[in-house]
Amino acid sequence: MAELLFFPFVEYWWFYAGFTACVLFMLALDLGVFHRTAHAVSFKEAAVWSVIWVGLALAFNYGFYLYATNNFAIDARLTAVSGFEPNAAAKQVGLEFLTGYIVEKSLSVDNIFVFVVVFSFFSIPPKYQHRVLFYGIIGALIFRAIFIAMGSVLMQYSWIVIFFGALLILTGVKMIFAPEKGINPEKNPAIRLFKRFMPVTPKVHGQSFFIRIDGRLCATPLFVALLFLEMTDVIFAVDSVPAIFALTREPLIVYTSNVFAILGLRAMYFMLAGAVDKFHMLKFGLALVLMFVGLKMVWLNDAFGGKFPITWSLGIILSVVAISVVLSLIFPRKVRSLGTAHE
């Protein structure tokens, strides 16, 4: 029997539509007003935007909790369930959003390092990096929405849950023990295939993704960088989306927490790009987080009567991430090549 959802899509389609419309409005405001003129994003500007995005996520989290508290108390479909407690359920979904947001935000560090390598490889000037990331974020939102919609259907089958749980555990083990490999976009099969059909200019031409040279349409390094970032985000989504489904079965929570984490990714990149290499121990922390949420999917949830306590999950995830960051600062790595990244 399918698990009872607090926010079934058929009843909450308007919430998805309204939330998505607000996100599109914020993105339009970002590009059309605050970044209408291409410029290098300073640390101060990035820090301010990071605070804004995190603040918006936390404000949404609180508003979501208040809405759930009021709505659960009057929803006849839910109150008819024996033993259902509206306040406890509202607290549960509020904590699930917060935990999912923290997990996705933490996993985004890998994205940031890829951004650093790709922008350096293609020699993308700092003032055009925001434009590439802006459209990269839009693509990421589209692909995440597709993956979440697929996941909401697939996660109803127990063998799929076990499969993705095992995949997360194996990914975590690989992150700990597998040697780090360099990123070379030129060797990516999709990039090589693209260049067979579309000529690419050797230099950047302003903020254009395409230009015409002698009447022939050519892609610029900005578009190739964007294409590579989109493909790597699809790969990251294979880990991050199931990881949040391990914390909650509510597609609405998975979607909104993912979106807020992605929206703040650009600001986090511009703020941490120069220091991301200092958090070398975070790789092991994220590996343990993936292994933990994978273990929840294959065993812990069933062992705790169908749901591992979300407060415990939040505490474990926060502790692991915090400890890995602190250890990175206490035991800094002396030398690291820019051309390496987590896989």
Q: What is the DSSP string of 225-289?
A: HHHHHHHHHHHHHHHHHHHHHTT---HHHHHHHHHHHHHTHHHHHHHHTTTGGG-TTHHHHHHHH
pLDDT along the chain (343 residues), means of 10: 76 93 87 72 86 95 94 79 80 94 86 83 87 88 90 86 90 82 72 86 87 90 90 83 89 94 88 76 88 90 83 92 90 59 39
Alpha-helix residue ranges (DSSP H) falling in the chain: 9-29, 43-74, 76-79, 86-121, 126-154, 158-177, 189-197, 221-245, 251-263, 265-272, 282-295, 301-303, 310-330
Please give the backbone phi and psi of residue 126, each rounded to the nearest 5 degrees, phi first.
-55, -35
What CA–CA distance (Å, rounded) separates 156 from 314?
Answer: 24
pLDDT at residue 183, rounded to an integer = 67
pLDDT at residue 337, rounded to an integer = 46
Q: Where are the domains of the chain?
A: 9-341
Q: Nearest Cα to 257, choosing from 72, 21, 128, 95?
A: 95
What CA–CA distance (Å, rounded) separates 76 from 237?
Answer: 36
pTM of the model: 0.86
pLDDT at residue 339, rounded to an integer = 45
148, 255 Cβ separation under 8 angstroms: yes
